[in-house]
Amino acid sequence: MVPARNKNYHQLMRGLRLGRYPGDLHNQFDHLFFTGDLNYRIAMEREDVLRLIHDRRWDTLYANDQLRDQRAQNKVFCEFNEGAIDFAPTYRYNRGDRTYSEEKLRVPSYTDRVLWKSLTPDRSAQLLSYEAHDGIMTSDHSPISAVFSLDVLLPPLPDENSKRCVIIISRLRATNIGVHRKIKEQKREQKEAKKDRDHKEQRAKEQKRELKELKRELKELKKEHKELTKEKKKDKKDKEKEVNAYVAFSGPFLDGMHKTGVVPRRSDPVWEDKDVPILEPLASTKHYLKRQMLFMAVRGQSVASSDELGQGVLSLWEACRRDGQPVDFEVPLRDKGKAAGTLCGRLIVKWEDRRAERHARLLDVSLNLRQSQQAPGGATTTTTKPLDSLLLASAAAAAAASASSTIEELVAQGPGVAQPQPQGPQP
| Range ranked top by mean pLDDT from 111-125, 128-142, 147-161, 375-389 | 128-142
Q: Please enumerate, as own/partner, the contacts of 225-228 that have beta carbons within 8 Å and a separation of 24 or more.
A: 225/190, 225/193, 225/194, 225/197, 228/186, 228/189, 228/190, 228/193
Residue 410 domain flag: no
**Does residue 387 or residue 357 have the better pLDDT?**
357
Number of independent structural domains in the chain:
2
Using the 3D structure, point to which of 149, 181, 204 is the last residue of a domain. Answer: 149
Average pLDDT, rounded, for the chain:
79
The predicted structure's pLDDT at residue 419: 40
Same domain, residue pair 169 and 269: yes
The predicted structure's pLDDT at residue 417: 41
Please classify residue 230 by burial: count the beta carbons closer than 10 Å to its beta carbon, then call 0-12 exposed, 13-18 middle and 19+ buried: exposed
Same domain, residue pair 120 and 66: yes
Same domain, residue pair 320 and 201: yes
Same domain, residue pair 249 and 101: no
The predicted structure's pLDDT at residue 27: 78
The predicted structure's pLDDT at residue 197: 72
Distance CA 337, CA 117 (A): 12
Distance CA 344, CA 348 (A): 14
Instruction: Name which of 81-85, 93-97, 151-155, 296-300 the model is least confident about.
Output: 151-155
Q: What is the CATH number of the domain that holds 259?
A: 2.60.40.150
The predicted structure's pLDDT at residue 373: 62
Is 137 a residue whose pLDDT tops 50?
A: yes
Q: What is the CATH number of the domain that holds 42?
A: 3.60.10.10
Please classify residue 262 by burial: count the beta carbons closer than 10 Å to its beta carbon, then call 0-12 exposed, 13-18 middle and 19+ buried: middle
Residue 393 domain flag: no
The full length of the chain comes to 427
Amino acid occupying residue 223 = K
Can you tell me the mean pLDDT for 4-28? 79
Cβ-contact 394, 359 below 8 angstroms:
yes
The predicted structure's pLDDT at residue 304: 46
How much of the chain exceeds pLDDT 90, in percent?
A: 42
**Does residue 369 or residue 249 have the better pLDDT?**
249
Same domain, residue pair 99 and 79: yes
Residue 253 domain flag: yes
Same domain, residue pair 282 and 248: yes
Same domain, residue pair 336 and 278: yes
Same domain, residue pair 347 and 280: yes
Can you tell me the mean pLDDT for 187-200? 70
The predicted structure's pLDDT at residue 235: 57
Is 336 a residue whose pLDDT tops 70?
A: yes
The predicted structure's pLDDT at residue 302: 57
User: C-alpha 231: how far from its chain's center?
Assistant: 27
* Selection from 243, 82, 260 nearest residue 177 by Cα: 243
Query: Per residue in 246-285, pLDDT tens?
Result: 999 999 899 989 999 998 766 689 999 999 999 999 887 8
**Does residue 11 or residue 343 have the better pLDDT?**
343
Which residues constitute the domain of residue 119?
A: 1-149
The predicted structure's pLDDT at residue 65: 98
Instruction: Name which of 91-105, 186-200, 303-317, 352-366 the model is least confident about.
Output: 352-366
How much of the chain exceeds pLDDT 70, in percent?
A: 70
| Range ranked top by mean pLDDT from 133-137, 222-226, 396-400 | 133-137
The predicted structure's pLDDT at residue 415: 46
> What's the CA dihedral at 173, 175, 177, 179 to 10 degrees?
110
Is 289 a residue whose pLDDT tops 60?
A: yes
Using the 3D structure, point to which of 107, 122, 149 is the last residue of a domain. Answer: 149
The DSSP output letter for 308 is: E
Backbone angles phi, psi at 36, to 5 degrees: 140, -175
Residue 137 domain flag: yes
Query: Per residue in 373-402, pLDDT tens?
Result: 654 555 545 444 444 454 445 545 554 455
Same domain, residue pair 137 and 169: no
Distance CA 59, CA 40 (A): 16
> What's the CA dihedral at 160, 288, 347, 420 to 10 degrees?
40
Same domain, residue pair 200 and 319: yes
User: What is the biggest distance separating any 2 CA atoms in the chain, rounded to whole angstroms?
Assistant: 111
Residue 402 domain flag: no
Distances (CA, A) of 153 to 51, 123, 317: 48, 9, 14
| Range ranked top by mean pLDDT from 114-118, 267-271, 363-367 | 114-118
Residue 397 domain flag: no
Amino acid occupying residue 413 = Q
Distance CA 148, CA 146 (A): 7
Residue 409 domain flag: no
Using the 3D structure, point to which of 149, 168, 194 is the last residue of a domain. Answer: 149
Same domain, residue pair 247 and 332: yes
Residue 395 domain flag: no
Same domain, residue pair 313 and 247: yes
